[in-house]
Every structure is written in C-alpha cells, then in structure tokens.
C-alpha cells in the first residue's frame, strides 16, 4: 500500500468548520502482519475473480444478453478504461433529438467490480426512464489508491461531455447527473466536487448515492451500532453480521494512503460543503446496511443547510434517542414497497423555488447492501430476499427517475 499523499487539489479540499474539527483523524499504518494479511486477502480474491470475469465476457460475446449496451467506447485520455453506453429502447439513433443523461459508477470497494456489473440496472433505467445512461470506468486499488480513481473519472466525464457524437441534452447548462453504487457512490459525490467538473458549462445537475460508502472517518466495526437488526427475516437479511464487515477493513487498507486525512471531503463526501456539491443530491440507503446511517446524516444536513431550517434534526451516532441513532427500525415493514410517507424513510426538499437545488432521501426497507444488483442478489440472498430486492429495485428506478426528470432536470 502506497503512502503517497494525494495531489494539491485533493489535500486542499475543505468543508465547513462545523463539520470538521481542528484535529483530523489520519489513516494509520498497520503492522507488517496486518499488511501481509490484507495483501494476501485482496490479491487472492482478485486472482479468483479475474478468470470468472474473463469467462463471462467471452460467453456474452457469443451470446449477448438483453441487457447489453448499445456501444462500448474508449477515449484517448484512458484507452484501457472503456465506457458502456445505453440508449433507451425507443430511441432512434439516427435522430438529432437529445436525451437527459445519467453517468453511472459501479461499486466494488474501490478494489473489485467491473463496468459490466450494472448492465441490468443501466439497461432498465435507460429503457423505463427514456434516459441516456453512460457507465464509467476507473482503475482499482491497491494498485491505484486514492485519488487515482477520481482523476480517471474526471478525465472520462470531461471527454464524454466534449463528445458531440453523443446526444447529450446540453440545454440550460445540461441535463446530466452522476450516480454511483457503494464505492461508486463515494466517487460520484467526490468527482462532482472537482473544479473542472463543478464549473463545467454542462456540469452535472445532481449527484446520486445508492448505499454509498461516504464516511471513512468511522471504523467499519463502529458503524454496526447504527443499523437495525431483524432476526425474524430469513437469511441473509436476518443475519447477525453485516455483509460488508468481512471486506471493509481490507478495502480501506487498499484504497486509503497512510497518513491521509479521513475527513477530506474527496475521500469522505459526508464532509463536503453543500456549495461544492451539485445543486441537487439524491441519497438512497438500504435499511439493513451499516452504511445507511452516513447517507441519512448527509441528506439531513444538506436539507437543514439548504432550507435554513435550524429545527431540522441531523442524526447522531451516539444519540440517546434510538430514532436518531439507528437508521431504520426494528420492526419488519408491513408492506412490500417503499415508505414514502415516513420522513425517516423518505423526504424531498428544494430551496429558492426549486432553482437553487434540493435533496432527496430514500431509505429502502428490509433490504441489504446491493439489493438492486442482480449478481449480488443471487450470491447473497435466499428466494425471499431475491424477490423482495428485485421488486424494490424496480420501485427505486421509478422513484429516482421521477425525481431526476421532474425536479432536477424539469423535463
């Protein structure tokens, strides 16, 4: 693991003084034994996954799935990091009509994952929401630790926005947005803060986090106290452990340089100034996920700052009130859908008449991390969990698509 410091733009990023205490936590250098353990774990898993991805690519070359992209394209800035482009099924590619555009960033703890992993989600969103979806690529840790992935994504976004061959809707500054899953959500909120992206004439109007890993300043094990546990549900939803705990410490070791400020907003976007983020921020959490609390806290803080409502409460990890300490509830949801009427599970706010921005929070009940990814569901869920996750994934696509089109882009 490299101990190199990030560049000046990364290290100089700042957030509000109320969010960042004077003494910043730094990532510590582990013992030699711990280093060997992390390295052995991560490279063994990479070795196992590499032939699996290779076989999947070859199989899909000969038998293309329905979810395949319309175009796979590489740019000169990163020829080894191709992107995947999904046109809506109803779109005539010979037409001059432009489309609102969603950039997506896959997850994988900054170490794993493949740009192909979200094809099913990207295809569903493009077809059901009539949106151009472009899946972005980035290099992985530990070979490429923070902030390498950010600058890969930065270069690709700038190249795509400059590509006149793509029917990106550039009216009124541009109807674009960034969306990421898990570690990709971290990267979506982080890359949107970079000056080259934030001040671009067609800068993304929104950044959206799906079960994002947004706060690196809290040790993974400490996050377990802030998620609900529901043993009455069938495994894996009812398990007594969180699905991320086995990997999170190794992900952190692989991605974060030694001595790095853990509250740097490009590493931990929960500490970002509202003015450095896109005008609109959407956050989707999975209730049975140790990462949901940090997304909830960010959504509440942005809502309070944007509206100027000092009475809006922001959850605290050590609150004596369980309603503000645990993201969710102990009881199993009574219905099979989203809970849009309960503000702990869903709220939307806009300010300055909607032109100044806004925030959307959506907590999906009774689902685990990665519930909307078909491959994760098949690996980590029983029949009941798979069906529940698939049903709620479709509802999430519809709800977030509605918010982007009606509120963010005003299509």
376-408 pLDDT, tens digit each: 777 666 778 888 899 999 999 999 999 999 999
DSSP class of 290? T
**pLDDT score, position 16:** 37
Mean pLDDT calculated for residue range 175-204: 97
Q: What is the pLDDT of residues 260-280, one digit of tens each?
A: 999 999 999 999 999 999 999
CATH number of this structure's domain 8-408: 3.40.50.1820
CA–CA separation, 2 and 5 (whole Å):
9
What 3-state DSSP class applies to 105?
strand
Residue 10 clears pLDDT 90, i.e. is over it: no
CA–CA separation, 54 and 278 (whole Å):
37
**pLDDT score, position 54:** 87
What 3-state DSSP class applies to 334?
coil
CA–CA separation, 331 and 309 (whole Å):
30
CA–CA separation, 36 and 27 (whole Å):
17
Nearest Cα neighbor of 76 from 185, 198, 7, 163 is 163
Contact assessment for residue 75 and residue 152, using Cβ atoms and an 8 Å cutoff: no
Residue 214 burial (CB < 10 Å; 0-12/13-18/19+)? buried
Q: How many CB atoms lie within 10 A of CB 107?
A: 25
Asked whether the whole model's pTM tops 0.75, one would answer yes
When pLDDT is cut at 50, 70 and 90, the band that residue 81 belongs to is very high
Residue with tokens 């894996």: 236
Give residue 184's Cα distance to chain centre: 4
- Classify the C-alpha dihedral 218-28-110-45 as positive or negative: negative
Q: How many CB atoms lie within 10 A of CB 351?
A: 17
Question: Encoding tokens for residue 347?
Answer: 């709220």
**pLDDT score, position 294:** 98
CA–CA separation, 333 and 248 (whole Å):
28
CA–CA separation, 278 and 3 (whole Å):
31
**What are the DSSP calls for 127-195, one per residue?**
HHHT-EEEEE----TTTS-TTHHHHHHHHHHHHHHT-TTS-B--GGG--EEEEEETHHHHHHHHHTTSH
**pLDDT score, position 384:** 82
Nearest Cα neighbor of 136 from 89, 72, 196 is 72
What 3-state DSSP class applies to 50?
helix
End-to-end Cα separation, the chain, in angstroms: 46
Max CA distance (Å), the chain: 60
Q: What is the pLDDT of residues 306-335, one digit of tens each?
A: 998 888 999 999 999 999 999 999 999 988
- Alpha-carbon radius of gyration of the chain: 20
Mean pLDDT calculated for residue range 277-296: 97
Nearest Cα neighbor of 120 from 357, 373, 304 is 373
Q: How many CB atoms lie within 10 A of CB 306?
A: 21
Contact assessment for residue 153 and residue 138, using Cβ atoms and an 8 Å cutoff: yes
When pLDDT is cut at 50, 70 and 90, the band that residue 356 belongs to is confident
When pLDDT is cut at 50, 70 and 90, the band that residue 52 belongs to is confident
């Amino acid at each position: 693991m490299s101990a190199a410091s990030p560049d000046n733009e990364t290290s100089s990023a700042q957030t509000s003084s109320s969010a960042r205490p004077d003494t910043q936590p730094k990532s510590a250098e582990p013992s030699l034994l711990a280093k060997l353990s992390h390295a052995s774990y991560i490279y063994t898993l990479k070795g196992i996954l590499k032939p699996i991805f290779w076989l999947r690519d070859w199989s899909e070359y000969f038998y293309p799935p329905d979810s395949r992209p319309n175009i796979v394209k590489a740019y000169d800035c990163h020829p080894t990091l191709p992107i995947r482009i999904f046109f809506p099924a109803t779109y005539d590619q010979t037409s001059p009509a432009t489309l609102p555009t969603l950039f997506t960033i896959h997850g994988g703890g900054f170490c794993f994952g493949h740009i192909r992993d979200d094809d099913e989600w990207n295809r569903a969103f493009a077809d059901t929401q009539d949106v151009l979806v472009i899946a972005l690529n980035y290099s992985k840790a530990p070979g490429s630790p923070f902030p390498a992935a950010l600058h890969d994504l930065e270069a690709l976004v700038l190249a795509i926005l400059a590509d006149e061959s793509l029917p990106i809707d550039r009216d009124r500054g541009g109807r674009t947005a960034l969306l990421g899953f898990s570690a990709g959500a971290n990267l979506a909120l982080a890359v949107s803060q970079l000056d080259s992206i934030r001040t671009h004439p067609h800068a993304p109007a929104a950044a959206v986090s799906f079960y994002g890993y947004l706060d690196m300043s809290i040790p993974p094990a400490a996050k377990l106290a802030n998620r609900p546990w529901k043993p009455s549900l069938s495994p894996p939803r009812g398990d007594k452990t969180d699905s991320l705990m086995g990997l999170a410490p190794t992900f952190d070791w692989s991605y974060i340089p030694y001595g790095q400020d853990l509250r740097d907003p490009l590493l931990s976007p929960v500490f970002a100034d509202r003015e450095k983020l896109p005008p609109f921020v959407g956050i989707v959490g999975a209730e049975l996920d140790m990462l949901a609390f940090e997304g909830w806290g960010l959504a509440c803080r942005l809502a309070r700052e944007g509206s100027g409502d000092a009475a809006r409460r922001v959850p605290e990890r050590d609150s004596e009130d369980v309603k503000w300490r645990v993201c969710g509830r102990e009881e199993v949801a009574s219905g099979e859908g989203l809970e849009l009427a309960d503000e702990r599970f869903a709220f939307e706010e806009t300010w300055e008449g909607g032109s100044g921005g806004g925030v959307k929070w959506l907590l999906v009940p009774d689902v685990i991390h990665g519930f909307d990814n078909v491959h994760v569901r098949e690996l980590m869920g029983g029949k009941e969990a798979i069906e529940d996750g698939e049903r709620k994934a479709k509802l999430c696509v519809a709800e977030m698509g509605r918010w982007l089109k009606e509120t963010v882009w005003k299509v």
